[in-house]
Amino acid sequence: MTKKAAIIGGGVIGGGWAARFLLNGWNVSVFDPDPQAERKISEVMANARASLPALSDIPMPKEGVLSFAQTITEAVEGAHYIQESVSERLDLKHRVFAQIQQSAELGTPIGSSTSGFKPSELQENAANPGTIFVAHPFNPVYLLPLAEVVPSPKSDPAVIEKAKLILKEIGMFPLHIKKEIDAHIADRFLEAVWREALWLVKDGVATTEEIDESIRMGFGLRWGQMGLFETYRVAGGEAGMKHFMAQFGPYLTAPWTKLTDVPEFNDELVDLIAGQSDAQSGHHTIRELERIRDSNLIGFLRALKDRNWGAGKVLREHDEARAVAFHAEVDSAPKDAPLVMAQMQVLPGWIDYNGHMTESRYYFANSETVDAFLRLIGAGMDYVAAGNSFYSAETHIRHLGEAKLGDKLTGTLQLISADEKRFRSFVRILKGEECVATIEQLCLHVNMASGKSAPAGPQVWAKLKSIADAQAGLPLPEGAGRAVGQKK
């Protein structure tokens, strides 16, 4: 069953929530009285479609259906999750929650994107305060995994746990904050940094660009994968955090900071900050800056994912959670037809300057297909660790069509021949019903200690033979046995 999310408020944050749910297969209904809401969300969706799939090594689920409701009642009808993202006005939020709870099913989680209000304030005079809580995300919502989940003493623990599961389902990291506080955790921390930065600019110590450079060229990268305390623990050397605290703790009383003294927020300060920011980044449009930001975040997050660290660990776990259902779409037993062995999606790193899948990725697609087949017959990594493996001896590839960014591909494998020491496979890379490439390959079974061909293990050979027998009656695939350049 396709689930439905209701997004109330379609600004930058609401649009990001809509994209996050929609691209993870949920139907999404948005309510926003702004006549430009559809245009704004369509632009956010374009950015999300170009970036979020790049974080996954598993093809994205079928995109949900996006609709725009005329009323809050229409938006929340039948919703399994509701996210409020209207302006930071408590009276407005109270009116929105009242309308939501008149129509939403009892017990439906209602998260608020508020960056400042406590959940107990949001729940005031609510018909059912237990289902309202804070789910504070970070922009861009469709890429950054953090959502601060903040309940109050009146919150229903079952609703909070349900909401956390839903957020995990769409690839987010729900940080459960046990004690409510104004501005939660992250924004409290950011506010302190922001105040200090304002003073540095006001006092002429640094420009907005110099401050940003100090973050993105240095500690920002450390914070991105270790946070604050873990970074300082490492700074303490072998003696760890205790040594760091003993060494630097006394400086907390030094007159380095003005955090207890807030500069007057007047037109002069606003003009100073805005002018420097315009000089720093004004030559880019907001959409250009978003695309630059997204591209950089993809590279950073994928690097973290490769190392299973920080936010990258969340991405891996999200892939692993989806992989069970995804890999259920491949074959697991012999049949008298080509075996479906791999499901793939063309990612940004797979394409060339023409926008087509690059040649090396066709070989990669073949490898994914054949590797899955080897696991099926019991010749996976455990078999390799025991000293035996199938080596590629000959490969012939034909390019019959084009695959482009975002295309979903299927790899099927047909055995042309097999014996105890070798098998000859014919892989088709399909884009829907269209075959975009075929790869014919001869693999030899090798004893890795001797470096010579040898019979496969009895269990592996038995599985390989059972598939070969099942496919023995299949016609020779068109193109099998062709030489390079051979005329049809």
- pLDDT tens track for 16-75: 999 999 999 999 999 999 999 999 999 999 999 989 988 888 888 999 999 999 999 999
| DSSP assignment string, 3-46 | -EEEEE--SHHHHHHHHHHHHTT-EEEEE---TTHHHHHHHHHH
Is 10's pLDDT higher than 90? yes
- The average pLDDT across 191-219 equals 92
Nearest to 119 by CA among 182, 202, 193: 182
How far apart CA 456 and CA 419 sit, in angstroms, is: 9
How far apart CA 238 and CA 82 sit, in angstroms, is: 47
pLDDT in tens, 432-486: 999 999 999 999 999 999 999 999 999 999 999 999 999 999 999 999 998 887 8
Q: What is the pLDDT of residue 330?
A: 86
Percent of the chain with pLDDT over 90: 68
Q: What is the dihedral of CA 397, 401, 406, 408, to 10 degrees?
A: -70
DSSP state of 211: H
- The average pLDDT across 360-379 equals 96
Q: What residues are paired with 300 via a beta bridge?
A: none
Output the six-digit token pair for 214. Answer: 């100090």
Do 48 and 117 contact (CB within 8 A), yes or no? no
DSSP state of 235: H
Q: What is the pLDDT of residue 76?
A: 97
| Alpha helices (H) along 104-239 | 119-122, 157-169, 186-202, 208-214, 220-226, 229-235
Region of poorest pLDDT, from 57-66, 186-195, 255-264, 366-375: 255-264
Is 256's pLDDT higher than 70? no
Is 8's pLDDT higher than 90? yes
- The average pLDDT across 183-190 equals 90
Q: What is the dihedral of CA 330, 334, 335, 336, to 10 degrees?
A: 130
Do 180 and 186 contact (CB within 8 A), yes or no? no
User: CA–CA distance from 164 to each of 111, 131, 175 (Å)?
Assistant: 11, 13, 9
Region of poorest pLDDT, from 102-111, 186-195, 280-289, 408-417: 280-289
Output the six-digit token pair for 391. Answer: 């080596």
Percent of the chain with pLDDT over 70: 98
Nearest to 352 by CA among 403, 303, 396: 403
Do 120 and 180 contact (CB within 8 A), yes or no? yes
User: CA–CA distance from 385 to each of 250, 389, 442, 452 (Å)?
Assistant: 54, 9, 22, 16
What residues have CB less than 8 Å from 151, skipping those under 6 apart? 119, 133, 134, 157, 160, 176, 180
Q: What is the pLDDT of residue 72?
A: 97
Q: What residues are paired with 425 via a beta bridge?
A: 415, 441
User: Is the whole-model pTM more than 0.85?
Assistant: no
Q: Is the model more confident about 113 or about 258?
A: 113
Q: What residues are paired with 77 via a beta bridge?
A: none
In the chain, the domains with their CATH numbers are 4-184 (3.40.50.720), 187-283 (1.10.1040.10), 329-470 (3.10.129.10)
Mean pLDDT for all residues in the chain: 92
Do 332 and 463 contact (CB within 8 A), yes or no? no
| Crossing angle (nearest 10°) for helices 286-306 and 311-327 | 80
β-pairing, 132-137 vs 146-150, is: antiparallel
Task: Give the number of other CB atoms < 10 A from CB of residue 9.
Answer: 25
User: CA–CA distance from 10 to each of 42, 114, 412 (Å)?
Assistant: 10, 14, 43
Nearest to 439 by CA among 426, 450, 451, 449: 426
Q: What is the pLDDT of residue 255?
A: 67
- E-only strand ranges, 15-140: 27-31, 66-68, 81-84, 110-112, 132-137
What residues have CB less than 8 Å from 440, skipping those under 6 apart? 395, 396, 397, 416, 424, 425, 426, 427, 479, 480, 481
- The average pLDDT across 399-427 equals 95
The SS3 of residue 163 is helix
**Residues found in the chain:** 488
* 307: amino acid identity, one letter: R
Region of poorest pLDDT, from 114-128, 160-174, 210-224: 210-224
How far apart CA 55 and CA 300 sit, in angstroms, is: 10
How far apart CA 181 and CA 306 sit, in angstroms, is: 35
Do 181 and 93 contact (CB within 8 A), yes or no? no
- The average pLDDT across 79-89 equals 96
Do 341 and 414 contact (CB within 8 A), yes or no? no
Q: Radius of gyration over alpha carbons of the chain, in Å?
A: 28
